Amino acid sequence: MFESDFERNLFELRRQKLQEIEKLGQPAYPNQFRFSHTIADIRARWGDTPADSFESSSVNVAIAGRIMAIRAQGKAGFATLQQEGQRLQIYVRLDAVGEQGFALYKLLDLGDHIGAAGYLFRTRTGELTIHVEKLTFLAKAMLALPEKFHGLSDVEARYRQRYVDLFANLDAREVFVKRARVLRAIRRFFDERGYLEVETPMMQPIAGGAAARPFKTHHNALDMELFLRIAPELYLKRLTVGGLDRVYEINRNFRNEGVSTQHNPEFTMLEFYQAYANYLDMMQLTEELIAFVAQEVNGTTITEFNGHTIDLAKWQRLKMTDAILQYWPSEAGVKPALSAFESPEVLRERLFAALGLLNEAMAEGSSITPERRALLKAVRDGIGAVYADSAKNAPIGKTVYNLFEEIVEPFLVQPTIIYEYPTVVSPLSKAKPDDPDHVERFEFFIGGFEIGNAFSELNDPVEQHKRFEQQLAERGRGDDEAHQMDEDYVRALAYGLPPTGGEGIGIDRLTMLLTGSKSIRDVILFPLMRAQVSANKDQGTDAAEKDAEH
RNA sequence: GAGCUCGUAGCUCAGCAGGUAGAGCAACGCCCUUUUAAGGCGUGGGUCCUGGGUUCGAAUCCCAGCGAGCUCACCA
């Protein structure tokens, strides 16, 4: 627990102070405090009240809070209390609180929790302040607070010791307040539309509904291998078979993948399903939902993200192939004809030609800006990877999809719906009636990354069984993210799934957009961190502490 | 997994042409009854991430490791 002798000494000093406080007749760890107002209440109600009106009629209040600043001045002193992210100053004078009260004040430290009762006034500088008549000790901070001006800025410490981050950095707190508002708004949105909130298994014998590597676990009593879910999808559709026409679930998914500013191994996903709807209905619903949530959370649909101003109420819809053409850089030659997306050979040739032209454009002596060069390099590397994959007999649909991800996705900053996905990358989506190679599916992108994914659900059990078998073949070829066979899910479909639209939305990423957070770890209270090798420098001295860790 | 950057007092940081550490805040003592990054005087506090190497001498240079951030890879 202690990181240094400094901390050990401070802790011991504070214990002595606690004993002194008890001698003053105050319990060291009282079990309640009745406050008349929260600090927020007081700020809201008297924040603008002029000084003279406090003199004509006194306002008595009692508040509780953590001491975030303390300034003693002989026989008087100030302290700033913080509660629920709001602060209020108190003024303590010997002649107002008495010998005992002032003795207590002198035993207070930064970080302590106290109660303060008295009347409101304004100081010379106009700050709303409580003139304290009674101090109540509530709990002690036995460790030192971070620097009062800069707060806790070490990123690692902020994630690992979020409890400090939350009270030391109020903007960190604000992110999580907003995150709660996001969830509340989503629930309101779906509840008002007749959706039922449900919870489906997070431990599953088959981890289905997405292409991702799962976490494995084991149930002892049943001696059963289980997976943490990678998606709730297949269970939610079983519910729609069961007659729950509109369901939604907000819960964690777990994917055994790397971490990045956009990926945490456990993340929160919203999924919803609506019977008798298709992917076009889902598009409509998505646009309404995102604008609604933004309005509820921020009071506006405008958000600032990564240097961009984004309007979450303004959407564009683009067919995937059209998007590729639109973002095809001029340096890569004339845009491919639409027919190129139907022939693996033609597309491959076009990609090869584009690589040559891009390399030429970036050659020494060319007069392009460094920014353009960086962009072209990313595009060239992307196309290079896609080309390499396509040369390994990847299905044309996979090549088109990869190409889209490489040259379009990072540039989709304003809200954009991309639709018409290749069937090969969409094993659970319903094919277009007139085009078996494409499905009724869309994803939407904001701020340069994917936020959600939706489709008309495939409800033909025979077709679904076939798609699963294709996935098994992929698995056999070494793709360990290909979908597993789920016989029970096929059986559920055999009982009849009505035409259904479904969608999944990443809540963490949506929260990033709405809070301007660049990293997903800033919107997750306790992001996964590598285990720390215990730097316990105080071995052997604190047996009880060691026991507590086991 | 790869590349780049970072790791110095509880916190925020300086010190890095190699000569064994410093500031502010926090802590401790004293003074101060309207301060607010309060102020004044004084005091204590460091295996400079870890382990090797080079050197008469390493916080500083080199190598390896650990941890973190960013970028890339991975990521229906």
Contact indicator for A275, A499 with CB cutoff of 8 Å = yes
Return the structure tokens found at A500: 């259904």
The model's pLDDT over A13-38, given as tens digits with 9 standing for 90+, comes to: 999 999 999 999 999 999 999 999 99
CA(A172)–C1'(B42) in Å? Answer: 38
Nucleotides of B under 7 A from a protein CB: 1, 9-13, 24-28, 31-39, 44-47, 49, 66-76
The model's pLDDT over A373-392, given as tens digits with 9 standing for 90+, comes to: 777 888 888 888 888 877 77
Whole-number Å distance between alpha carbons of A185 and A144: 38
Nearest nucleotide to A127 (CA to C1') is B36
| Helix, coil or strand: residue A312 | coil
Contact indicator for A120, A129 with CB cutoff of 8 Å = yes
Nearest nucleotide to A159 (CA to C1') is B68
Is residue A262's pLDDT more than 70? yes
CA(A429)–C1'(B41) in Å? Answer: 77
Residue nearest to nucleotide B45 (CA to C1'): A6
pLDDT of residue A387: 85
| Helix, coil or strand: residue A221 | coil
Contact indicator for A319, A419 with CB cutoff of 8 Å = yes
pLDDT of residue A549: 33
- The interface predicted TM-score of the complex, written ipTM, equals 0.92
CA(A4)–C1'(B9) in Å? Answer: 10
Is residue A272's pLDDT more than 70? yes
pLDDT of residue A273: 98
Mean pLDDT of A84-103: 97
Give the DSSP letter string of A522-533. Answer: GSSSS---PPPP
H or E segment and range at residue A514: helix A507-515
pLDDT of residue A539: 34
State which amino acid sits at residue A23.
Answer: K
Whole-number Å distance between alpha carbons of A337 and A325: 9
Of residues A24, A197, A36, A227, the one with CA closest to residue A115? A36
Least confident of A53-57, A63-67, A457-461, A492-496: A53-57
Is residue A49's pLDDT more than 60? yes
Which of the residue ranges A254-258, A370-374, A471-475 has the most confident prediction, judged by mean pLDDT? A254-258
Residue nearest to nucleotide B49 (CA to C1'): A535
- Can you say how many angstroms the Cα of residue A70 is from the centroid of all Cα atoms in its chain? 35
Mean pLDDT of A349-357: 88
Q: What is the pTM of this model?
A: 0.92
pLDDT of residue A358: 86
Mean pLDDT of A83-105: 97
Whole-number Å distance between alpha carbons of A461 and A496: 8
pLDDT of residue A540: 30
CA(A71)–C1'(B8) in Å? Answer: 30
Nearest nucleotide to A168 (CA to C1') is B11
Whole-number Å distance between alpha carbons of A22 and A537: 31
Is residue A50's pLDDT more than 90? yes
pLDDT band of A230, cuts 50, 70, 90: very high
Is residue A547's pLDDT more than 80? no
CA(A525)–C1'(B51) in Å? Answer: 35
CA(A177)–C1'(B26) in Å? Answer: 29
For chain A, the distance separating the N- and C-terminal CA atoms, rounded to the nearest angstrom, is 13
The alpha-carbon radius of gyration of chain A (Å, integer) is 30
pLDDT band of A533, cuts 50, 70, 90: low
Is residue A363's pLDDT more than 90? no
pLDDT of residue A1: 72
pLDDT of residue A538: 34
Return the structure tokens found at A296: 């509820």
pLDDT of residue A343: 86
Task: Give A54-59's long-range contacts (Cβ < 8 A, gap of 24+).
Answer: A54/A119, A54/A120, A54/A121, A54/A122, A55/A121, A58/A119, A58/A120, A59/A119, A59/A120
Contact indicator for A274, A245 with CB cutoff of 8 Å = yes
The model's pLDDT over A304-314, given as tens digits with 9 standing for 90+, comes to: 998 899 999 99
Nearest nucleotide to A95 (CA to C1') is B33
Supply the mean pLDDT for chain A: 91
pLDDT band of A548, cuts 50, 70, 90: very low
CA(A8)–C1'(B32) in Å? Answer: 31
Nearest nucleotide to A126 (CA to C1') is B34
State which amino acid sits at residue A154.
Answer: D
Nearest nucleotide to A401 (CA to C1') is B76
Whole-number Å distance between alpha carbons of A267 and A253: 5
Is residue A104's pLDDT more than 70? yes
CA(A126)–C1'(B36) in Å? Answer: 11
